[in-house]
Amino acid sequence: MSIRLFCMTSALALTAGQAAMAEMSFTRIASFPTYLNLAHDARDQATSAEIIDATADGTVLVYTDSPLGALGMIDFTDPADPRPLDTIMLGGEPTSVAVAQGRAYVGVNTSESFVEPSGYLAVFDIASREELGRCDLSGQPDSVATAPDGSFVAIAIENERDEDLDDGAVPQLPAGTVDMFDIAEGTADCESVRSADLTGLAETAPSDPEPEYLDINAEGEVVVTLQENNHMVVLDRDGEVLSDFTAGAVDLEGIDVTEEGAITFDDAQPGRLREPDTVQWVGNDHFATANEGDYQGGSRGWTIFNQDGTVVYESGTDFERALIEAGHYPEERSGNKGVEPESLEFAIFDGTPMVFVGSERGSIIGAYDITDPAAPVLTQLLPSGVGPEGFVALPSRGLLVSANEEDLREDGGPAAHVMIFEHNEAAPAYPQLTAAGAGELIGWGAISGMTAAGNGMIYAVNDSFYAMQPRIFEIDPSERPARITRAIEVTRDGAPAQMLDLEGVVTDGEGGFWLASEGDADDLYPHAIHHVTAGGEIDQQIAFPAELRAVARRHAAEGITMVGDTLWIALQREWDDDPAGHVKLVAYNTESREWGAVHYPLNDVARGWVGLSEISLHGDHVYVIERDNQFGADAQVKAVYRVPLDQMEPAPLGGELPVVEPELVRDLIPDLEAFNGYVVDKVEGLAIMPDGTAWVSTDNDGVDDSSGETFFWSIGQM
Express each pLDDT in 93-107 by its tens digit.
Answer: 999 999 999 999 999
- Gyration radius of the chain's alpha carbons: 27
Q: What are phi and psi of 321, to 5 degrees?
A: -65, -35
pLDDT at 554: 85
What is the rounded distance in angstroms from the CA atom of residue 213 to the CA atom of residue 93? 17
> Using one digit for the tens of pLDDT, what is the confidence trace for 390-440?
999 999 999 999 999 999 999 999 999 999 999 999 999 999 999 999 999
- Res 650 pLDDT > 60: yes
- Res 222 pLDDT > 90: yes
- The three-state DSSP-derived secondary structure of 170-187 is CCCCCCCEEEEEEEECCE
Q: Which of 179, 182, 181 is nearest to 159 (CA)?
A: 179
Domains of the chain by range and CATH? 3-89+247-424 (2.130.10.10), 433-717 (2.120.10.30)
Average pLDDT over residues 1-27: 45
Asked whether the beta carbons of 293 and 249 are under 8 A apart, the reply is: no
- Res 578 pLDDT > 50: yes
**Close Cβ partners of 58 (under 8 Å, ≥ 6 residues apart):** 76, 394, 396, 397, 399
Three-state SS at 635 = coil
Which residues partner with 224 through β-bridges? 214, 233
> Using one digit for the tens of pLDDT, what is the confidence trace for 603-620?
999 999 999 999 999 999
pLDDT at 523: 62
Which residues partner with 683 through β-bridges? 698
Containing 18, the helix (H) or strand (E) segment is helix 11-23
pTM of the model: 0.95
> Using one digit for the tens of pLDDT, what is the confidence trace for 120-138?
999 999 999 999 999 999 9
Residue type, 564: G
Average pLDDT over residues 234-245: 98
pLDDT at 52: 98
What is the rounded distance in angstroms from the CA atom of residue 320 to the CA atom of residue 339? 6
What is the rounded distance in angstroms from the CA atom of residue 628 to the CA atom of residue 633? 12
Share of the chain above pLDDT 70, in %: 96
Q: Which of 236, 238, 233, 267 is nearest to 253 (CA)?
A: 267
pLDDT at 12: 28
Mean per-residue pLDDT of the chain: 94
Distance, C-alpha 250 to centroid of its chain: 25
**Close Cβ partners of 540 (under 8 Å, ≥ 6 residues apart):** 530, 531
DSSP code at position 525: S
Q: Which of 478, 534, 504, 463 is nearest to 695 (CA)?
A: 478
> Using one digit for the tens of pLDDT, what is the confidence trace for 189-211?
999 999 999 999 999 999 999 99
pLDDT at 240: 98
Asked whether the beta carbons of 649 and 676 are under 8 A apart, the reply is: no
CB atoms within 10 A of CB 646: 8
What is the rounded distance in angstroms from the CA atom of residue 217 to the CA atom of residue 201? 22
pLDDT at 524: 64
- Res 356 pLDDT > 90: yes
**CB hemisphere CA count around 40 (13 angstroms):** 0
Residue type, 590: T
pLDDT at 522: 64
Q: How confident is the model at residue 10 (pLDDT cuts 50, 70, 90)?
A: very low
**CB hemisphere CA count around 482 (13 angstroms):** 22
> Using one digit for the tens of pLDDT, what is the confidence trace for 64-121?
999 999 999 999 999 999 999 999 999 899 999 999 999 999 999 999 999 999 999 9
- Res 141 pLDDT > 60: yes
Share of the chain above pLDDT 90, in %: 94
Q: How many residues does the chain have?
A: 718
Three-state SS at 431 = coil
- ω into 481 cis (within 30 of 0): yes
Q: How confident is the model at residue 295 (pLDDT cuts 50, 70, 90)?
A: confident
Average pLDDT over residues 306-332: 97
